[in-house]
Chain A
Amino acid sequence: MKSILKIALGIIAALGGFLDIGDIVFNTQAGALFRYDLLWAVALGTLGIAVYAEMCGRVAAVTGRPVFDVIRMRLGFGLGLAALIASTAVNLLTVAAELGGLAIVLQLLFDAEFSLFVVLAAIGLVIVVALLPFGGIERLFGYCGLLMIVFVATAINQGPDWGAVAHGFIPSFSSSTLYLYFVVGVFAAALMPYEVHFYSSGAVEEHWDESSLMENRLNAIIGYALGGVLACSLVVVSGYLFHPLGVDPADLGTAALPVQNAYGETGLLLALGGIMFCVGGAAVDSSFSASYNLAQFLGWEWGRYRGPKKAPRFTASWLVFLFLAMLVVLSGINPVEITEYSVVFAVVALPMTYLPVLLIAGDRSFMGDHANGPVSRTLGWAYFALILVLATAALPLLLATNGGGG
C-alpha cells in the first residue's frame, strides 16, 4: 500500500513539474496566433517526452547509468565532449530563461526592480536546495506547480467551442513559416533535454532499481499525459481570449491574464503562483542538469544525495552555472527572448543526447529483459526521425521568422 501512495505522489510531482517557461511562452503564443490549431503539436511533444523519459528512467534504474554516463560510454570522449559542450550551453541558456521568468513573476507580485528579483530568486533557489534533500526539492516544486490546474479550470470556465478544440488535435499543415516555427517550438518546449538529464540522474539520486520500473512507467504514462493536459490548457485559454483580439503575448504576465479575467484576483494569484513554482522548479532542474552532465562525463562524484562535502566539484559547478545564468539575465536580454533561443537551440542539440540512450535502451546486453519492447522501439525510432527533421528545420525557421516575430 505504501508503494501505491508513493507512486501516486511521484506522479503528482511529475505532473506539477511538467511545465516550464518554454512551455508557457510557446503555448500561450501558439494559442494567440493560431487558436487551437497547434494542439496536435503539444500532444505530439508530450508523447515524445513520455517515451524519452521512460527510456532514460529505465536505463538509469536497470544499469545505474544516467544520460551522460551513457553518452560518454557510447560516443566516447571526443563526440561525448561535443555533446557535453552543446548540452551545457543549452542548459545554461535554459537556466537563464527560467531564472528570468521567475524574476518576472516576482516582479508581477511585488513590483520592485527587476534585477533585484533576479538576484533574490537565485539566492532563494540556493537556500531551498541547501535546506532540502533531493526528494524534498522535487516534491516542493512539484506539488506547488499543481496550482497550474487553474488554467484547466479557466479553459472549462471559458466554454470554448469544444469541437474546434478537438479539431486542433488533428495535425494540420500550413506553408506559413511562422506556423512551422511554432510547430517546432511547441514540440521542442515539451521535449527539453534537461528534463531527461534531470530525470535519469534523479533516478540514481533516489536509488531506483528494477523494482522502480513500474513507477517509472506510470510517471511517464499518467504523469506526463496529465502534464500534457496542462500544456494544452495554456493553448486553449490563450486561443479563446487572445486570438479573436489579435493579441500577441510578448511577455510572461500576459499568460496569466485569461485566468485573471475569469476568476479575478484569486485566479491571478493561483496562476502566478503556479508559474512561479513551475519556473522555479525548472531553474533548479536545468541547473542541476548542467552539473550532472559535467560531473558524469568527467567521472566526478556527484549528486545532491552525496552532499557538498563528498561532491565538492559538483556542488561548486552548480553554483557557478547558476551564477553565470544570473549574469546572462542581468545583461538585459529579455527573458522571453532568452526562452525562445533556449528552446530552439535545445532541439538542435537534442539528437546527440537522444540517440545514445535509444541505442542502450534497446541493447539486451545492457538491459537484459528490460530492453525496449516493440512499442518503445517503434515509438523511440519514430521520434528520433522526427527529432532529426525538427532539429534541421529549427534554425532556418528561427531566422526566417525573425525569432517568431513574424
Chain B
Amino acid sequence: MNREPLSVAHRLLDEQILDSEGRRCGRVDDIELRGNPPRVTALLVGEGLYPRRLPARLRGLARRLAGPERWGANALRIPWEEVDEIGASVVLRGKAEELGLGGGDNPERWLVRRLPWN
C-alpha cells in the first residue's frame, strides 16, 4: 500500500490524526499527491499549511498570522508509509514525537512548561 488513489485523498483530508498510542496529534491539513495518475504520497500537517486552504483573498492575512511555511517547524510531512489504518481517524504506525507531531501539547515546549500545573 505504497500509494493510494485520489478518492482516498478526499476522504483523508481534514481527518484527525492519532499516533500509535492513541494520542491526538493534529489533523490532515493537506495532502501530497505525486505521479500520473496522482496518488497520495504523504500527509501534510501544520499551521503553515492553513493559508493555502483559505480562499485567495484571505491568504495574505493568514500568512501574516500563521507565518510562512517552515518545513519541519509549522509544516510537517508524514510519508504515506507511516499510516497504519484509516477509520474515524488516521492512525499512524509511530509515536507522535518521533514524527515531530503533537508538538504543541509536548510537555517540553517552553510555553507548556510555564503552565501552572506543569
Contact, CB under 8 Å: A76 / B105? no
Q: Do A309 and B117 touch (CB < 8 A)?
A: yes
Asked if A181 is an interface residue, CB under 8 A from chain B, the answer is no
User: Given contacts A78-B53, A313-B104, are A299 and B117 in contact (CB under 8 A)?
Assistant: no
Contacting pair A77 B88 (CB below 8 A): no
B74 within 8 A of A: no
Contacts beyond the supplied A296-B16, A299-B25: 4 A-B pairs with Cβ under 8 Å: A64-B88, A78-B55, A80-B14, A301-B25
- Name A residues whose Cβ lies closer than 8 Å to a Cβ of B: 63-65, 69, 72-73, 76-78, 80-81, 296, 298-302, 308-313, 315-316
Per DSSP, chain A at the interface is: helix
> In the complex, how many residues of chain B place their beta carbon closer than 8 angstroms to a beta carbon of chain A?
26
Instruction: Indicate whether A308 sits within 8 Å of B24 (C-beta atoms), given known contacts A64-B88, A64-B89, A77-B14.
Output: no
- Please name all residues of chain A whose beta carbon is closer than 8 Å to the beta carbon of B54 when the two chains form the complex: 77-78, 81
Cα-based distance from A78 to B27 in the complex (angstroms): 14
**Interface contact A312-B107, CB-CB below 8 Å:** yes
CB distance from A357 to the nearest CB of B (A): 15
Alpha-carbon gap, A298 to B45, bound state (A): 10
Are A300 and B24 in contact, with the CB atoms below 8 A? yes
Docked pose: A316 CA to B53 CA in angstroms: 26
Give residues in B with beta carbon < 8 Å to A. 13-17, 23-27, 29, 45, 50, 53-55, 88-89, 102, 104-105, 107, 112, 115, 117-118
Determine whether the beta carbon of B102 is less than 8 Å from that of A312: no
Chain B, Cβ-Cβ closest to A366: B88
Interchain CB contact under 8 A, B26 and A299:
yes
Bound-state Cα–Cα, A300 to B96, Å: 12
Provide the residues of chain B in CB contact with A316, threshold 8 Å.
Answer: 115
User: Is the pair A76, B13 in contact by a Cβ cutoff of 8 Å?
Assistant: yes
A81 to B89, CA, bound (A): 20
Which of the residues A76, A78, A81, A299 comes within 8 Å of B24, measured between beta carbons?
A: A299
Which of chain A's residues have a CB closer than 8 A to the CB of B26? Answer: 298-300
* Cross-chain contact B104 with A300 (CB below 8 angstroms): yes
Q: Which residues of A contact B25 (CB under 8 A)?
A: 299, 301
Task: Report chain B residues within 8 Å CB of A311.
Answer: 105
B23, B50, B89, B118: which contacts A77 (Cβ < 8 A)? B50
Cross-chain contact A312 with B115 (CB below 8 angstroms)? yes
**Contact among B27, B55, B107, B115 with A299 in the assembled complex (CB-CB below 8 Å):** B27
* Candidates A78, A299, A312; contact of B16 at CB < 8 Å: A299
| Known contacts A72-B14, A299-B17, A312 near B118 by CB under 8 Å | yes
**Would A76 and B117 count as touching, CB distance under 8 A?**
no
